[in-house]
């Protein structure tokens, strides 16, 4: 009789825990995923530029021209205004980027809707891919669209 009593008490106390552990932990439908705050924040953003795939395409073109990608070089990044009414001004964005260690310049143009900024870095690592994705997200949050990067080909001199 005592064993039956203990089994009933155990089932009553442990039953809710077992049920709680078996519940689904992830959204079941695409609609549930779309209600995520991250999806709302970046809705409409072109996330290709700055992605590993986009970076790999540029690195492939550099390799084809004889670049071994291992050396540090000046990398130019580009961005354009997406939502003019919500965009941070050119001067405000320029100030933020300069604070982050970038050199800001516009290739001789005075376009307030387009910005070029540069920084010395290596381009062959996953760290660079992460930084370009962060740049893409940062710029989008300020009303600008990241438009990719470029750099000069750096070849090693053989003696």
Mind listing the domains of the chain with CATH numbers?
A: 2-39 (no CATH), 45-151 (3.30.70.970)
How far is CA 56 from each of CA 53, 61, 77, 151, rounded to the nearest angstrom? 5, 9, 15, 14
> Average pLDDT for residues 105-130, to the nearest whole number?
82
pLDDT at 4: 84
Which band of pLDDT confidence, cut at 50, 70 and 90, is reported for residue 156?
A: confident
Looking at residues 119-132, what average pLDDT do you find? 91
CA torsion angle 130 135 136 137 (round to 10): 90
The pLDDT, as a whole number, for residue 40 is 52
Confidence of residue 101 (pLDDT cuts 50, 70, 90): very high
Residue 157 has φ and ψ, to the nearest 5°, of: -90, 125
**23-72: pLDDT as tens digits:** 655 555 555 544 445 555 556 667 778 888 889 999 999 999 999 888 99
């Amino acid at each position: 009789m005592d064993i039956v009593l203990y089994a009933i008490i155990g089932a009553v106390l442990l039953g809710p825990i077992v049920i709680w552990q078996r519940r689904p932990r992830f959204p079941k439908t695409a609609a549930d995923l779309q209600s995520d705050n991250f999806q709302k924040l970046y809705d409409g953003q072109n996330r290709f530029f700055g992605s590993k795939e986009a970076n790999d395409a540029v690195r492939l073109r550099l390799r084809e021209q004889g670049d071994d990608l291992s050396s540090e070089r000046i990398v130019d990044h580009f961005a354009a205004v997406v939502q003019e009414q919500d965009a941070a001004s050119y001067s405000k964005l320029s100030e933020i980027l300069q604070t982050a260690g970038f050199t800001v310049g516009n290739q001789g143009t005075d376009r307030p809707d387009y910005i070029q900024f540069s920084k010395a870095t290596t381009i062959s690592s996953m760290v660079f891919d992460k930084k370009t994705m962060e740049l893409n997200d940062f710029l989008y949050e300020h009303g600008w669209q990241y438009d990719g990067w470029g750099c000069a080909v750096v070849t090693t001199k053989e003696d």
